């Protein structure tokens, strides 16, 4: 894609500004792809269309490189239009403060809890194969027996959906909570008055949505795998605690209006 092609996509009045900032990045399930500039300008690369992993990653890095060049070209064009000499701009970020903020955010109780959930989630997926195989077999048998009051195909679909939901949000919750807390530290100086919606609240809301969906998904697993109660109940308890702590730390987050989704 060239810079001009990118600009013609960006000129589409149907696009929703900033919709991609507070979505859950689950583009395959998103109902707003035709209104999202990130989706429309991101090359679609399916690993299955490449002969091997190496050629897939080569293509991904080439795409990133091309995007960077286009961004630089557009930045240069905009600077020229506004009479700005990019070489004259001096930046002086307070790197020491940024590092201190990063450390503070990563060691906070809420970050630790979210990270615990990432680890526990991974562990569960690494050890669930036998249980899921047994469950699959029992659903197939139920399907063949045509039992009354059972719908094994729907049960299998619900189960698959629950696994996909847990997998999709497992790490995203942590990432969004890190961003929410980092933004909170910046909000203190940027938004001294409560006039603007805060990025910290928007990010916390996306984390909360991920937690809500994940809790429902684990409940589906618990229903299908009652023998795993001792494993799944502590996970549900952790997520419930994470939800409560997030709501306490970001009391305005649930009211944040995400462009394109809540308006
Ligand atoms: S708004 Fe939808 S299409 Fe755009 S990045 Fe988010 S999930 Fe993907």
- Listed by start position, the domains of the chain span 3-88, 95-255
Q: Give the burial string for 25-49 (b: 16+ CB within 10 Å, else e).
A: eeeeebebeebbbebeeeeeeeeee
Best-predicted range by mean pLDDT (32-36, 49-53, 87-91, 102-106) = 32-36
Residue 143's φ and ψ, nearest 5 degrees, are -65, -45
Q: Give the 3-state secondary structure of residue 174.
A: helix
Cα–Cα distance between 70 and 186 in angstroms, integer? Answer: 29
C-beta 206 within 6 A of ligand 1: no
* Residue 112 alpha carbon to ligand 1 centre in Å: 28
Report the interhelical angle of 152-190 vs 229-249 (nearest 10°). 30
- Mutating to test ligand 1, I would choose from 20, 21, 28, 258 the residue with most ligand atoms within 8 A of its C-beta, which is 20
pLDDT of residue 195: 62
pLDDT band at 126 (very low <50, low <70, confident <90, very high): very high
Compute CA distances 114 → 66, 146, 169, 215, whole Å. Answer: 34, 42, 11, 14
Query: Relative to the CA of 33, which ligand 1 atom is closest?
Result: 3
- E strands, 125-199, in order: none
The residue-averaged pLDDT of 5-22 equals 89
C-beta 76 within 6 A of ligand 1: no
Cα–Cα distance between 102 and 85 in angstroms, integer? Answer: 32
Find out whether 164 and 29 touch, Cβ atoms under 8 Å. Answer: no
Closest CA to 37 of 61, 2, 6: 6
The residue-averaged pLDDT of 101-126 equals 94
pLDDT of residue 89: 66
Compute CA distances 46 → 1, 24, 43, 60, 65, whole Å. Answer: 18, 20, 10, 10, 18
Check whether 93 has a pLDDT greater than 70: no
- Average pLDDT for the chain: 89
Check whether 256 has a pLDDT greater than 70: yes
Query: Relative to the CA of 25, which ligand 1 atom is closest?
Result: 7
pLDDT band at 66 (very low <50, low <70, confident <90, very high): confident
C-beta 36 within 6 A of ligand 1: yes
pLDDT in tens, 203-246: 999 999 999 999 999 999 999 999 999 999 999 999 999 999 99
Check whether 165 has a pLDDT greater than 60: yes
Lowest mean pLDDT among 13-22, 111-120, 191-200: 191-200
Find out whether 203 and 176 touch, Cβ atoms under 8 Å. Answer: yes
Check whether 155 has a pLDDT greater than 60: yes
What does the block give as tokens for 157? Answer: 């679909």
C-beta 20 within 6 A of ligand 1: yes
Enclosing H/E stretch for 214: helix 199-224
- Mutating to test ligand 1, I would choose from 28, 33, 205 the residue with most ligand atoms within 8 A of its C-beta, which is 33
The residue-averaged pLDDT of 118-137 equals 92
pLDDT band at 74 (very low <50, low <70, confident <90, very high): confident
Q: What pTM was computed for the model?
A: 0.85
pLDDT band at 65 (very low <50, low <70, confident <90, very high): confident
Check whether 191 has a pLDDT greater than 60: no
Identify the DSSP state of 45.
-
pLDDT of residue 11: 85
C-beta 207 within 6 A of ligand 1: no
């Amino acid at each position: 894609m060239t810079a001009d092609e990118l600009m013609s996509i960006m000129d589409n009045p149907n696009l929703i500004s900033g919709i991609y900032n507070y979505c859950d990045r689950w583009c395959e399930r998103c109902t707003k792809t035709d209104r999202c500039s990130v989706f429309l300008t991101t090359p679609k690369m399916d690993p299955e269309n490449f002969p091997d992993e190496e050629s897939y990653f080569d293509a991904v890095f080439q795409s990133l490189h091309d995007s960077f060049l286009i961004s630089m070209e557009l930045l240069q064009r905009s600077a020229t239009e506004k009479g700005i000499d990019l070489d004259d701009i001096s930046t002086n970020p307070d790197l020491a403060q940024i590092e201190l903020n990063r450390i503070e955010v990563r060691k906070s109780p809420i970050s630790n809890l979210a990270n615990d959930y990432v680890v526990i989630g991974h562990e569960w997926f690494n050890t669930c194969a036998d249980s899921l195989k047994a469950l699959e077999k029992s659903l197939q048998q139920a399907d063949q027996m045509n039992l009354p009051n059972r719908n094994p195909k729907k049960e299998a679909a619900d189960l698959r959906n629950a696994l996909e939901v847990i997998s999709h949000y497992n790490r995203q919750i942590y990432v969004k909570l890190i961003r929410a807390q980092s933004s909170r530290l910046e909000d203190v100086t940027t938004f001294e008055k409560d006039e603007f919606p805060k990025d910290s609240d928007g990010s916390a809301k996306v984390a909360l949505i991920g937690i809500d969906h994940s809790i429902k998904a684990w409940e589906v697993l618990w229903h299908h795998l009652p023998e795993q109660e001792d494993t799944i109940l502590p996970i549900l308890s952790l997520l419930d605690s994470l939800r409560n702590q997030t709501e306490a730390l970001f009391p305005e987050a649930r009211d944040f209006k995400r462009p394109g989704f809540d308006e």
